[in-house]
Amino acid sequence: MGIDTLRSYPTGKDSDVFGRRKKSGAAAEAAGEAEQVVDEVGTDDADGEPRRVNLPPAPRPDGPWDVSEVSRPEEGRVDLGGMFVPGVEGMELRVEVAGDAIVAATVVLRDSAIQLQAFAAPKKEGIWGEVREEIASGITQQGGIIDEVEGPLGWELRAQVPVKLPDGTGGVQLVRFVGVDGPRWFLRGVISGQGAVQPEAAGLLEQIFRDTVVVRGEGPMAPRDPIVLKLPNDAQMVPEGVQQEDQETSRFSGGMGQLQRGPEITEVR
């Protein structure tokens, strides 16, 4: 469930942004299992402990960027409306939906993936500290293990999430939750696959996160409302599981291929 770990936030319809969804591929399964775990946890703090105070957003000298900070955000990036996502050689880009709204983009690169999602945030407060606490609480209540560390992108959570294996036995999936507070927005990333198993090998995924440009817009939004995305004007939708031999080269990056629609949310509330 990600940033909406302990709440659900409307996206035009009464839907749960991070409800349970069907995933395909090892890189996507880890993020999906983590979201399912925290999706089942309530909003109350059983111990009555106060939430950590949200401090002003920290400086972002290496990104991710606000659209006001980049002169040509479309250069080398895919225009998804609420975000410009960097294009790199060999990547596959999937979009994920809640109801009729596109709310997340997932970049799959070989045996790793990073899901990107942007949210509105208070004008003078960052929310990543509070969100980390909520995610950690949800996963530990379900028997998972959380390690809060200061990584290449700042403070992050490295989670061992309990899952049921195909043979019915129990196992764990490794997932990294990263986040950065920006001006009136918050960008969250979920790294799965080998990028979570071997964080030192996730440099390209981390660079994609850093080089993402967020377009918050000037309209009023409640804190934690997802910033809705759109398909690029020249996107060609490829159903999940369909392979095409002769994909046209994307103008956003060498050989990035066509945009694919990722797994849709299968449970709404």
Considering the domain boundaries, does residue 268 fall inside one? no
Is 16 within the bounds of a domain? yes
Pairing of strands 92-98, 260-261: parallel
DSSP strands (E only) in 23-111: 65-66, 77-79, 83-86, 92-98, 101-109
- What mean pLDDT is predicted for residues 21-38? 46
User: Is 83 a residue whose pLDDT tops 70?
Assistant: yes
Residue 10 lies in a domain: yes
Burial class (CB in 10 A: 0-12, 13-18, 19+), 175: buried
In a domain, 53, yes or no: yes
CA dihedral 253, 255, 259, 262 (to 10 degrees): -110
Residue 79 domain flag: yes
14 domain residue, yes or no = yes
**What's the number of domains the chain is made of?**
1
**Mean per-residue pLDDT for 50-69?**
77
Each residue's pLDDT tens digit, 173-201: 999 999 999 999 999 999 999 999 998 88
Residue 2 pLDDT > 50, yes or no?
no
Collapse the DSSP code of 91 into the 3-class scheme (helix H, G, I; strand E, B; otherwise coil) and give the result: coil
In a domain, 245, yes or no: no
Full domain range(s) for residue 49: 2-240+252-261
Is pTM beyond 0.85 here? no
Q: Is residue 126 part of a domain?
A: yes
In tens, the pLDDT along 221-253 reads: 999 999 999 988 766 555 555 454 433 333 333
